[in-house]
A and B are shown apart, each in its own frame.
Chain A
Amino acid sequence: MRFDLDMPAWKWPFYVARHPFEGFEDVRWKKAYNSKVALVIVLCLFIVTVAARLMTGFVFQTNFEKVFNIVPLFSSSVLIFFIWVVGNWSLCTLFNGEGKMQQIMCVTAYALVPYIISQVVYIFASNILTRQEGAILTFISYIGIVWSVVLVISAMKAVHQYSMPKTLLAILFTLVAMVIIVLVLILLISLFQQVVMFVYSIYTELMYRFSM
C-alpha cells in the first residue's frame, strides 16, 4: 500500500498505529518527522493525564486527591517523555543508532497515540460503566498500553535501524539512563538550592554590615 503515502503530516501517527511493523520504516523513508505534530501529541498526553485524574467516574477513581496538584501529573507525562527522548538519544548515539534527537521525539510521540486514544475512551466509559463491568475498562487500558509499547519498540527499531534484540537492549538501557538522568537532575536542583542559599546568606551578611 505504498502508493498513497503522500498524506498530510497529522495523518502519519494514525497510519503508524495501523501499521505497527512497517509504519515507522515508511516514516523514515518519507522523512515524515514533524515536530509540530509530535508536540501536539505530547500536549494531548498531558491533557489526557490531567483529565484521567479529574474526570474519571467516581466509581473507578482510585486516587481522588483532596487538593489537586498539577506538578506530579506534568512530570509523569511531559517530563518523563522528554527524559525518555534525551536518554534514548544519548544512549543510541553511542551505540551506532541512526536517529537524531528530533526524529526520536517524533516517532516516540507518534507511538503514544493508541495510549492517548485508549485513555480518552477509558475516561468516557468510566462515567458510563458500573463496577461490575470494570473488566471492560481494564481491557481498554491494557490494549492501549500494549499497543503503544509495541509501537515504541517498532519505532526505536526503525529510527535507529537496529535488529530486534539490540532494540530491546537499547530500550532497557534507556530506562536505566532515565533513572540516572532523574538522579542527576535532583542532585543538580539540590546543589543549586545550596548555591542560591549561600549567595543569599552572603548578601544578607553584607547588608547587615553596610546598614550598621
Chain B
Amino acid sequence: MPLFRKIGAVTLTAAVAVSSLASVVSADEAYSGYNYDWWNDPVPSQNGYVVDRVVTGVDMGAGAFNELNDIFVDQETGKIYLVDTNNQRIVITDEKMETSSVMDTFTYSDEFTEEQSVIKKTTLNSPKGIFVTHYKDKTLIYIADSMNERVIGCYEDGSIFHEYTKPSSDLYESDISFRPTKVVVDNALNVYAVIPSITNGIVQFSQTGNFNGYYGANRVETTAEVLQNAFYSLFMNREQMRARQRAVAIEIANCDIDDEGFIYTVTSSKSANKDILKKLNPAGENIYLNMGFDNMQFGDVPMYYNGSNFASQIDDVDVDENGNVFLLDFTKKRIFQYSDELDLEFIFGGDGNQKGLFTSPTAIENLNKKVYVTDGRKNTITVFKLTEFGGMVQNAIEMFNRGLYQEAKEPFEEILLRDANYWFAYVGLGNAYYTSGDHENAMKYFYMNSKGGYNRAFKEYRMDMIRQYFNVFMIVVLIIIAVAIVISSIRKHNKKKKLKAANAANGR
C-alpha cells in the first residue's frame, strides 16, 4: 500500500509540475515586460498586460477596415466607436465586438438645416477622430471630418445638430487649412479640435460654434535657433526679422479628457524636450508644471543608433477612471502606463506582426481595466487585459495614491516577491514604514529609489537619533572641551618654562 501511495504522490507532483510548466508557456507573450531602474536602464519585469484578443472588422460583421484611425469607448454605455478613415465611415460596436452598426451618411435636421451648413455634404471625407458625450439623455457624437474641413456634431441616428468649420476670426490666419484630426468635448459642450497645421494650441469652439480662441499652446523649445533669433533681434530691424524663419512651438498631436474635465495633450515629436504630455486645467495651464514635472521625458529613454534618433514619439493619450495615463509610442509601437503621479507602471506592446504587436498603432482607449489599441495598417483592434501581477500593482498604487500607505504595504510586499526589480514597490514600502514611524527601514527602502522620500525619512531618523543620544553627545562634547582646555594650559605652562630657561641661558 505505501508503495502505491508513493507512486501516487510522485505522479501528482509530476502532474503539478507539468501543468505549472504549461501555464508558463501559455502566458508567454510576443513582448516581454520591462521597467526602468534608478539609472534609467531597462530591467526585465513581469508583464502587466497580456493580449486578450485581436478583433478585425470581419469579426464584428462590418467588413474589413481600411485604415483605422481612432477609437472611442463610451464609458457609460460600453459602446465602442471606430473611425474607419478610408472607408469613410464610423463603425459602432459593443464590448463583445461581435455585432456592429455602420454610420456613413448623415442628415441635416430642423435644428441645423442645410442652409445653415457651410460644407453642405452628407458623407464623410477621411474622418480622423471621434468623441462621444451625453447631454440630457441624448448621445452626442462629434466626428473630425478631416478632408471636409469640419467637425460635425450629430445624434445617434445620424442627424447633424451642428457643424464646426474654419473660423472667420482675425485670430485664425485665413491661409491655414482647417483639417481637424482629433476632437474632444468638455462638460459644457465646448468643442476642442486638434489641427496639425496649427502651432498655437487646440482650436476651441463654444457649443454654438463660435471660435473661442486657442487652448493650451505648447511652449517654444529653447533651441539654438531661438537664441540666434534673440541675438539678431538686437540689431536687425523689423522687416529683416520678419524675413527670418520664426521659431514656433511644436503642434499638439492628440488629446483626451478625463472625468474631472482636465484635458491631456501630447506632442508627437522625437526632439521635443518639454510639453510632451500636458494636463491642462480650464484656463489652459499645464498642471504637471506645478507638480514639478517640467521637462519630464515620457516613453522609452532616447536612444541613438547609427545616427538615427529612436526617441519615443507619443501619438495618443488616454486616461482611465483612476487617473492612470496611457501613452502610445509610435516609434517603438509600445504602450506606457503611468500612474496619476506619473510613475511608470507598465510597458507593453511592440513592433511586429504577432498578436500584441503593432505595425502602425493609431489610437488607444480603455474600458473596465482593458486596453483597446487600434492599428491603422493591420486594421485590427487589439484588446489587452490586466495580468494578476498587473492587477496587484494597480491596486497597490491606487491605495498608495489615496494615501493608504499602511494598507498598501502587504500588496507591495507581494509585488516584490514576484518582481524584485519593480522599483515603485520600494517607494510604496518606504512610505508605509515612514508613516508607521520606522524611519530606519523607510530609509532602507527609499535608498536608490526616491531621493525625496529618503530625505524626509532621514530628517526624522536624525531627529530620533538626536533625541535618543543627546545626553551622551553632550557629555562627549563637554569632555572634549575640558580636555582641550587642560592641554592648552599645559602647553602654555611648558612654553613659559622654555622661555624662562631661554632667558636664563641668555642672561648667563
Tell me if A130 is interfacial: C-beta within 8 Å of chain B.
yes
Chain A residues in 8 Å Cβ range of B95: none
Tell me if A59 and B455 are in contact (CB < 8 A): yes
A130 with B39, Cβ < 8 A, contacts A58-B447, A58-B448 known: no
Number of chain A residues whose Cβ lies closer than 8 Å to a Cβ of chain B: 9
Tell me if B39 and A66 are in contact (CB < 8 A): yes
Tell me if A128 is interfacial: C-beta within 8 Å of chain B.
yes
Tell me if B451 and A58 are in contact (CB < 8 A): yes
Tell me if B458 and A130 are in contact (CB < 8 A): yes
Tell me if B41 and A66 are in contact (CB < 8 A): yes
Chain B residues in 8 Å Cβ range of A131: 451, 455
- Name the distance in Å between B447's Cβ and chain A's nearest Cβ: 6
Q: CA separation between A66 and B459, bound complex, in Å?
A: 26
Among the listed B38, B39, B41, B454, which residue makes an inter-chain contact with A59, where contact means beta carbons less than 8 Å apart?
B454
Tell me if B497 is interfacial: C-beta within 8 Å of chain A.
no
Chain B residues in 8 Å Cβ range of A132: 459
Interface 1/0 per residue, B429-450 and A, CB below 8 Å: 0000000000000000001100
- Name the distance in Å between A59's Cβ and chain B's nearest Cβ: 5
Chain B residues in 8 Å Cβ range of A65: 39
A58 with B454, Cβ < 8 A, contacts A128-B462, A130-B459, A130-B462 known: yes
CB contacts under 8 Å to A, within B296-312, are none
Chain B residues in 8 Å Cβ range of A128: 462
Most-contacted residue by chain A among B38, B39, B458, B462 (CB, 10 A): B458
A130 with B455, Cβ < 8 A, contacts A58-B447, A58-B448 known: yes
The residue of chain B having its C-beta at the shortest distance from the C-beta of A66 within the complex is B39
CB contacts under 8 Å to B, within A105-155, are 128, 130-132
Chain B residues in 8 Å Cβ range of A66: 39, 41
- Name the distance in Å between A9's Cβ and chain B's nearest Cβ: 22
Chain A residues in 8 Å Cβ range of B455: 59, 130-131
Chain A residues in 8 Å Cβ range of B454: 58-59
CB contacts under 8 Å to A, within B475-504, are none
Interface 1/0 per residue, A52-66 and B, CB below 8 Å: 000000110000111
CB contacts under 8 Å to A, within B309-334, are none
Binding site for B on A (CB under 8 A): 58-59, 64-66, 128, 130-132
Binding site for A on B (CB under 8 A): 38-39, 41, 447-448, 451, 454-455, 458-459, 462
